[in-house]
Amino acid sequence: MRIGELAARAGTTTRTLRYYESRGLLPARRTGNGYRSYDESDLRLLRQIRTLQDFGFDLEETRPFVECLRAGHPEGDSCPASLAVYRRKLGELDSLIGELTTVRDTVARQLARAELAAEAEAPGGPEPQCELGGDTW
């Protein structure tokens, strides 16, 4: 298939494919008339790259997975280099989760403090609650 068809099937642009080619992530096979030529394995490779990027991997982090696919591994993530990237990314995510949990706890404490301060500052104490119910209005 040619570059336009591959881009359409992969849900990307020809410009992106040319960029991947320039970075060595996508093979640059040419037909006799000079057109780029791709096959189903290239589509699978692009889908792997896109999935990893959707998960937050940067383009360079996808390289070991691409190389693993090219080496004939069906999923592209069973090679030692791919496993190392997974481990590193998992460590980064754990760290971010820890940082976000700390920020969330701080914001929750600030909110609780601010709500108490707002109640204390309100004239006459807390705002009256409107209760609807019963037979009277």
Q: For 6-19, what is each residue's pLDDT tens digit?
A: 999 999 999 999 99
The tally of domains found in the chain comes to 1
Q: Is 133 inside a domain boundary?
A: no
> With 80 as the cut, is the pLDDT of residue 134 above it?
no
Q: How many Cβ atoms sit within 10 Å of the Cβ of residue 131? A: 6
Range of the domain at 87: 3-118
What confidence category does residue 3 fall into, taking pLDDT thresholds of 50, 70 and 90? Answer: very high
Q: Is 25 inside a domain boundary?
A: yes
Which CATH number is 40's domain given? 1.10.1660.10
Among residues 76, 54, 73, 56, the alpha carbon closest in space to that of 65 is found at 76
* Cα–Cα distance, 84 to 8 (Å, whole number): 32
8 A C-beta contact, residue 38 and residue 6: yes
Average pLDDT of the chain to the nearest whole number: 89
Mean pLDDT of 111-120: 92
pLDDT at residue 28 in the model: 80
Q: For 22-79, what is each residue's pLDDT tens digit?
A: 999 998 889 899 889 999 999 999 999 999 999 999 999 999 999 999 998 988 889 9
**Residues whose CB is less than 8 angstroms from the CB of residue 82 and which lie 6 or more positions away in sequence, other chains included:** 64, 65, 68, 76
